Structures are given as C-alpha cells and as structure tokens.
Amino acid sequence: MFSNASYFIPILLRGLEVTVQVFLLGAVIAYFIAFVAGLGRTSQLGIIRFLATTFVELFRGTSLLVQMFFFVYALPLIIPGLSMSAFIAGALALGLNYGAYASEVVRGAVLSISHSQTEAAISLNMSKWQRMRFVIMPQAVRLMLPGFGNNAIELLKGTSLVSIISLSDMTFRATLLRSSNTSLSAQVEIFTYLLILYFLLALPLIFLARWLEKRASKGVSTT
C-alpha cells in the first residue's frame, strides 16, 4: 500500500488547475451575490426584499448537484441557443449556492449594527448611501470576515462535485484512476492522496479564517 505515489499523485495534480480555477471563479460570484442578496434582504422596499429572499431560499433549499445539472442540461433547453460549458456551469452553481448562504452573513452583520449609530448619522445629515458607506459597512465588514472565511473553505470542498458533470478536476481524475485500478489497496491509496491534496489546498484558507476571526474579534472589542 502507498507504493504508487509517483504514479497516482501526478495524475491527480493534473486536475489541480481546474479545481483552483473553479474555486476562484465560484468565490468571486459567491461574494458578489452575498452582498447583493444580503443587502437586498435589508432593503426598505418590499419588492427587493421579496426577490432577494426568494433567490436565497431557492438556492439554499435545493441541491447544489442538481443546480449544476440544471445549468448544464436543462437551461439550454429552456433558453434555446444558450450554451454553457461544464466549467461555467459548475462555477456558477457553486457561486450562487454558497453566495446564498453567505448573504445571511452579510444580512446578519448589517442588522447587528446598533440603530443608534444610524440615528446619529441621520442627525449629521448623512444620506442613506453615506450612512451605509461610512458608518454601517466599515463595522459590518469586520463581522462578516470570519463567516466569509468559513464559507470559502466550504466552497473549496464543494468544488469536488464538478466531477459529476464531467469537469476534469482532481476528483474526476481520482475516479478515472479508481476505474482502472480495481484493487482495494490501490483505491485506498488514490483517495488518501486526494484527501491530503484537498486538505493542503484548504490549509491556507483555514489559517486565513482563524486570522480573520481574531482580527474581527479585536475590531468588535474596541468599538
């Protein structure tokens, strides 16, 4: 056992670039969606709150894997002429799904800011935009940081699902190796290496999340 590292690991690493690319694009989409939907759910306009809430509950209440299949296979049938690659579909599904979860982090952080600070900003004749930009968001972002760090780790782990839609990431390559190496020891070896590779990828995010938690705690304690 564990005697084929020089053969298995290079093959698994061929999918590393795809895993990282899907993660990065998914993260950009997720955090953009998090702010749009999160702030939308705090809006005073009922229609905006309704739309934001509907989006969040839809993507939190349905399977991420089903969402990927929907973007790859169903959406092009609903919208004729629309073609979406597995890479875009996977990253989009990840971004929208985890963005929906992260929007709760944004909403909770904004709502946690004391209303007295908003009243003080109003007394200084600040507009709604100025209150959000200069008073609420600088404090709320500190509260969002730990949640965003944890969300990034979850998103990275979720990238393994793109292998189901035939995107050649590390998990997809591990599956190919398993199909051509049927012995139990070889399969244990393959997925042990895969487990270690995902952990090594997640390790910087884990340390970043812990650092953000400490930074956020210091920020809150000084206010």
The beta strand positions in the chain, using DSSP E, are none
What the chain holds in terms of domains, given with CATH numbers, is 17-168 (1.10.3720.10)
CA–CA distance, 211 with 176 (Å, rounded to integer): 37
pTM of the predicted protein model: 0.90
CA–CA distance, 156 with 94 (Å, rounded to integer): 9
Nearest one of 176, 159, 149 to 92, comparing CA atoms = 159
Per-residue pLDDT 10s for the chain (223 aa) are: 567 888 999 999 999 999 999 999 999 999 999 999 999 999 889 999 999 999 999 999 999 999 999 999 999 889 888 888 999 999 999 999 999 999 999 999 999 888 888 788 888 878 878 888 888 888 898 889 889 999 999 999 999 999 999 999 999 999 999 999 878 889 999 999 999 999 999 999 999 888 887 877 775 544 4
Length of the chain measured in residues: 223
Angle at 212 between CA 223 and CA 210, to 5 degrees: 125
